[in-house]
């Protein structure tokens, strides 16, 4: 079975070598770099078995991107603390949405309108949420998100395409990425917010219900999520383009 590898980081900004990857299922660490080839150097190594290759990596690479603990203990925060992040950040809040449905959407009056085939009235929806977004964007802060969309989109994704009209009207910049492109980019199926490129709120789900929020502040880990953000933004397009394509094929 193919490993699910996550790129942790590289010690080189030029050729990407050496680098550290992590197996998400086994917690194994995979390091690649230049081989140790001098016979006098290799002769000094103990327990180098047939088929094994010694590689050379800078100490700083392991300090920056190697695991810091054997068993990582998630730092879970309350939903109240999570809500406060949306007013306490200074510059940017960025979201990746990867799921095919969100149970919380399906209990809203707007989803009932959508499911019945009626035009959705977004004018009075979540007014406190809308006012907060408007207040924060008026301060010069940016809210952005990328939503991954299947082909064909699921009902939950179609709802969010319609919902994007409301979010964009209160200051969010919303882009979409086809799942085939997300798979090509090997984006991980994780939902998260990045605040100020400084901390990450990783969202935990069970049966499409949001059950908890994990706060990540370790710089190397935050950097990994920033790399996912940059990759997603490179190929994502304005939600209006995806909505138009979907309408043209429905």
Per-residue pLDDT of the chain (250 residues; tens, 9 = 90+): 888 887 777 776 656 678 888 887 888 888 888 888 898 988 898 888 888 898 888 888 887 787 777 777 789 999 999 999 999 999 999 999 999 999 999 999 999 999 999 999 888 666 788 999 999 999 999 999 999 999 999 999 999 999 999 999 999 999 999 999 999 998 988 999 999 999 999 999 998 999 999 999 988 889 889 999 999 999 999 999 999 999 999 7
Q: β-strands 142-149, 92-97: how paired?
A: parallel
Closest CA to 187 of 232, 239, 247, 128: 232
Question: What pLDDT is attached to residue 101?
Answer: 97
H-state helical runs in 139-177: 155-169
Rounded to a whole number, what is the distance in angstroms from the first to the last CA of the chain?
Answer: 37
pLDDT of residue 23: 84
Whether residue 143 contacts residue 136, with contact meaning beta carbons closer than 8 Å, is answered with yes
């Amino acid at each position: 079975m193919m490993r699910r590898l996550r790129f942790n980081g590289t010690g080189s900004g030029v050729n990407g070598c050496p680098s550290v990857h992590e197996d998400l299922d086994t917690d194994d660490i995979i390091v690649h770099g230049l081989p140790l080839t001098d016979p006098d150097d290799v002769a000094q190594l103990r327990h180098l078995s047939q088929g094994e290759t010694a590689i050379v990596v800078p100490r700083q690479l392991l300090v920056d991107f190697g695991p810091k603990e054997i068993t990582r203990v998630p730092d879970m925060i309350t939903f109240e603390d999570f809500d406060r992040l949306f007013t306490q950040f200074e510059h940017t809040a960025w979201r990746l949405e990867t799921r095919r449905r969100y149970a919380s959407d399906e209990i809203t009056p707007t989803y009932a309108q959508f499911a019945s085939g009626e035009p959705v009235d977004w004018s009075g929806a979540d007014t406190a949420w809308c006012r907060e977004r408007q207040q924060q964007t008026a301060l010069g802060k940016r809210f952005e998100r990328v939503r991954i969309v299947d082909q064909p989109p699921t009902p939950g994704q179609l709802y969010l395409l319609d919902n994007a009209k409301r979010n964009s009207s209160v200051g969010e910049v919303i882009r979409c990425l086809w799942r085939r492109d997300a798979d090509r980019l090997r984006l991980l199926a994780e939902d998260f917010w990045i605040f100020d490129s400084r901390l990450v709120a990783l969202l935990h789900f069970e049966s499409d219900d949001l059950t908890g929020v994990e706060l990540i502040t370790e710089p190397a880990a935050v950097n990994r999520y920033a790399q996912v953000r940059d990759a997603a933004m490179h190929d994502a397009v304005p939600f209006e383009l995806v909505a138009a394509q979907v309408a043209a094929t429905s």
